Chain A
């Protein structure tokens, strides 16, 4: 009987260096603008301490309040994007704000995804009354207006960045639960799951070995699409004063603080943080879209 030789090209992808190469290759296939924006923001957030010219929470010594950007009359290169009502450097606040936005966006998504995926798997795989209870809770949760609910929770447990992460996770898990449950329902009928059960695998083992790995793709795509939503929610909460407490620099908070000056003509206080929020949300959404197509085996294989 002829034996089948291993496919060398595919085998190469299995070493660590091979995986790294595949990752680099994947990144190069992603839309360039998205990679640049996301990569840039992550870098900026990570190196904020090194690249921010000033402390974001303290007024710049010698700078005026409401100094305009450098290209305008009265602007100075020392504070290239101007200063705010306390004389703090806007560029520095934006740079540190990226850190807040990314941490809240990613961690909030992680919490939401973790809760939702776990509940979705349990609900879909176990079925029966467990499924009924989890899904009714999910429905009830979905019926609550997300932001109002988040404000309520924030008011209850008090504002801090990590509280916001937990709150947003608790608000946005429902989508995962629904989608993942649907996926699990169809996975449960696949023969490999039946085979595992017939071989005597415990429920825990089936979930760990067969269900979870097969829903991770979906969860990842969902996550990349949720990051933007969570970032906006964080900005909204901060804007409403129940988010990241001042003087910590968060983009939503910056918008909120700049509100009284919007009519007065100091547009740079609002436009720059607003543009940052737009940019990061757009980039994560585009990334999510690309990931969705890329991880779909049907579109990938031909």
Chain B
């Protein structure tokens, strides 16, 4: 892989929680606790995990909606924390996001054309006609007719709205799109449309994706590489095929066990893991997964495993694989 488009190093975000009215000892929610990620040009990195694992915070950090407690995020070689003025605007132009709920992400009072044109209006001095032409082009890219531009979002179904959201994300010279569960809110019959569309757009435009999701099958389908997050840490990362062929971390295995079958005869997996994700306020000692882990050993509650090279490429953080 040549130099990555986005490179995240030791990224940490702690939120202080004030416990009592009198202040008390401020406790920390370690939403993201030292993660490394890299996304190459034209690559899709899948970020998978359950609620509270820190995947949303990670996306907020990358989108500069939050500032990291420590660690760096480099975009095309430059630390985004130091970006200001014109450089920041260039970053805002290059990195876009598509959210889960297409009903919340399009302003009900704006026409589709104006919604898509907004990033262009913010960043360029293009004349009206040029903006209109660009809007028409991206609408066509996502499979909508250019003449829908004067309509309002409420005239579209969920899948069409999501296309509009993608068109907007592509309006500028976008190099990275954060896809935050872009199909979970859609009807099943249109999910495949959107996924195929995203894959086709990537092939055509060479744009990189950070695909955040919780559905293993969907994430595995669209991603080249996958990072599995649990309570603010990445526990395993590998090429999508390698991970599906042999998930190594017990949590990854649990996710596979909990995945729904695609046929009634699919071998019923072993009993899925018990228990629920603990509160990020009181993290377990040692390996964060050990209270739920079926293969927990004494060492797991004492020392936190580091990420090590795993068989078949990628890395895994588990004492089972020293």
Contacts and interface: CB of A to CB of B under 8 A. Distances in A.
Are chains A and B native binding partners rather than an unrelated pairing? Answer: yes
Contact of A4 (B89, B148, B150): B148
Interface range for A: 20 to 34
A277 to B, nearest CB: 36
A192 B104 contact: yes
Interface string B91-105: 011011101010011
A143 interface: no
Given A199-B92, A200-B92, A201-B122, A213 B63 contact: no
Interface residues of B, number: 37
A3 interface: yes
Given A194-B65, A205-B122, A200 B147 contact: no
B175 to A, nearest CB: 14
Contact of A6 (B99, B105, B108, B151): B151
Interface string A186-204: 0000111011111111100
A198 B177 CA distance: 12
B122 A213 contact: no
Interface in B84-125: 88-89, 92-93, 95-97, 99, 101, 104-110, 115, 118-119, 122-123
Nearest to B140: A3
Contacts of B151: 6-7, 10-11
A200 B89 contact: yes
A260 interface: no
A175 interface: no
B283 interface: no
Given A4-B145, A199-B119, A209-B118, A214 B65 contact: no
Contacts of A194: 65, 99
Given A191-B101, A198-B96, A214 B148 contact: no
Nearest to B120: A199
B64 to A, nearest CB: 8
A68 to B, nearest CB: 55
A198 B62 CA distance: 10
Contacts of A297: 108, 154
B66 to A, nearest CB: 12
Nearest to A187: B107
A4 B161 CA distance: 12
B108 A199 contact: no
B244 to A, nearest CB: 29
Which of A2, A10, A195 lies at the interface centre, i.e. has the most chain B CB atoms within 10 A of its CB?
A: A195
Contacts of A2: 143
Given A194-B65, A209-B118, A7 B92 contact: no
B93 A4 contact: no
B63 A198 contact: yes
B123 to A, nearest CB: 7
Contact of B106 (A192, A200, A213): A192
A6 B151 CA distance: 8
Contacts of B152: 10
A3 B101 contact: no
A259 interface: no
B109 A200 contact: no
B105 A192 contact: yes
B118 to A, nearest CB: 6
A14 interface: yes
B257 interface: no
A297 B106 CA distance: 15
A192 B153 CA distance: 12
A213 B110 contact: yes
Contacts of B99: 191, 194-195
A301 B103 CA distance: 15
Contacts of A201: 118, 122
A10 B122 contact: no
A5 interface: yes
Interface in B146-183: 147-148, 150-152, 154-156, 160, 168
Interface in A183-233: 190-192, 194-202, 205, 209-210, 213-214
A68 B270 CA distance: 96
A194 to B, nearest CB: 7
A2 B148 CA distance: 13
Residue from the set A10, A14, A199, A205 with the largest chain B CB neighbour count within 10 Å: A199
B104 A200 contact: no
A10 B155 contact: yes
A263 interface: no
A6 B148 contact: yes
B246 to A, nearest CB: 37
A50 interface: no
Interface in A1-45: 1-7, 10-11, 14
Given A4-B144, A6-B151, 9 more contacts: A6-B145, A191-B99, A192-B105, A195-B105, A199-B118, A200-B123, A213-B107, A214-B109, A301-B154
9 contacts: A4-B145, A4-B156, A190-B105, A192-B105, A198-B63, A200-B92, A213-B107, A213-B110, A214-B109
Q: Which 7 A-B pairs have the closest CB atoms?
A: A200-B92, A1-B143, A3-B145, A191-B105, A213-B109, A191-B104, A199-B119
